[in-house]
């Protein structure tokens, strides 16, 4: 990881986790001294944070932490920082509600619009999930799962839905990173992904949407079970 990326992650995590509060002023020279980096590295990191809505810069004042309502909450990096921080449960709840509103719709649209290539990719992703799930390889399973959902969102034919693939990928990655997945993925979860893929291939929008809702319900139940274990 580069010095820039390391500083960006550190500052982003401090803001997302509430250690740097809205309205707080952060000075570039203090950051450079504290983290042992150049002013150029600090400026680059602050520029990214500003683009994400996390901070604002004011001449003769410094860098000011922005209120939460200005944050770009769909930015995958911010999602990752929030999942890594003390507000993880709140962020997971928010993301689960977002997914329940978009992914069933995307599945229904995909049943009407998916190309043969996208149908094939969905099926291949499900087969990979089955293989890696049986082997207990959660990292490989995660990659196949991310590929499935990204393909489904793209297959919706709606660019706004497709643009949310990074958000969904961070949710799935966060579940694995924070041990909110069973040691071996549930066969039911894989079977439901297969149901979505088959419904999309068959052009059955109602079945595709219902199967996707079932996936999200199963995922929520699995996370609650892991949190309570």
Predicted structure pTM score: 0.90
**Tell me, what's the pLDDT at 182?**
82
**Torsion angles phi and psi, residue 204, rounded to 5:** -95, 95
**Structural domains of the chain, with CATH:** 3-70 (1.10.10.10), 76-228 (1.20.120.530)
Element (H, E) at 61: none
Q: How far apart are the C-alpha atoms of 208 and 114, rounded to whole Å? A: 12
Report the pLDDT averaged over residues 183-199: 94
Q: How far apart are the C-alpha atoms of 53 and 69, rounded to whole Å? A: 9
Given a contact cutoff of 8 angstroms between Cβ atoms, the answer to whether 78 and 72 are in contact is: yes
Report the pLDDT averaged over residues 171-187: 88
**Tell me, what's the pLDDT at 226?**
66
Report the pLDDT averaged over residues 85-107: 93
**Tell me, what's the pLDDT at 189?**
94
Q: How far apart are the C-alpha atoms of 170 and 174, rounded to whole Å? A: 6
pLDDT exceeds cutoff 60 at 88: yes
> For tokens 């419904």, what's the residue?
199
Average of per-residue pLDDT values in the chain:
94
Least confident of 40-44, 61-65, 91-95, 182-186: 182-186
């Amino acid at each position: 990881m580069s010095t820039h990326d390391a500083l960006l992650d550190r500052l982003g995590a401090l803001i997302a986790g509430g250690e740097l509060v809205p309205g707080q002023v952060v000075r570039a020279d203090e950051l450079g001294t504290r983290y042992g980096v150049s002013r150029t590295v600090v400026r680059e990191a602050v520029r990214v944070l500003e683009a994400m809505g996390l901070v604002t810069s004011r001449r003769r004042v410094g860098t000011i932490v922005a209120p939460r309502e200005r944050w770009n909450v769909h930015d995958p990096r911010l999602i990752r920082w929030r999942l890594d921080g003390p507000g993880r449960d709140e962020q997971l709840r928010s993301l689960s509600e977002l997914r329940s509103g978009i992914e069933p719709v995307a599945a229904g649209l995909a049943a009407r619009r998916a190309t043969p290539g996208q149908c094939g990719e969905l099926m291949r992703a499900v087969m990979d999930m089955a293989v890696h799930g049986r082997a207990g390889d959660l990292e490989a399973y995660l990659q196949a799962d991310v590929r499935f959902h990204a393909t489904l969102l793209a297959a919706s034919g709606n660019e706004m839905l497709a643009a949310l693939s990074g958000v969904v990928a961070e949710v799935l990655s966060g579940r694995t990173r924070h041990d909110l997945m069973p040691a071996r993925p549930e066969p039911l979860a894989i079977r439901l992904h297969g149901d979505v893929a088959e419904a999309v291939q068959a052009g059955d929008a109602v079945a595709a949407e219902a199967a996707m809702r079932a996936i999200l319900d199963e995922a929520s139940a699995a996370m609650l079970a892991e949190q309570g274990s």
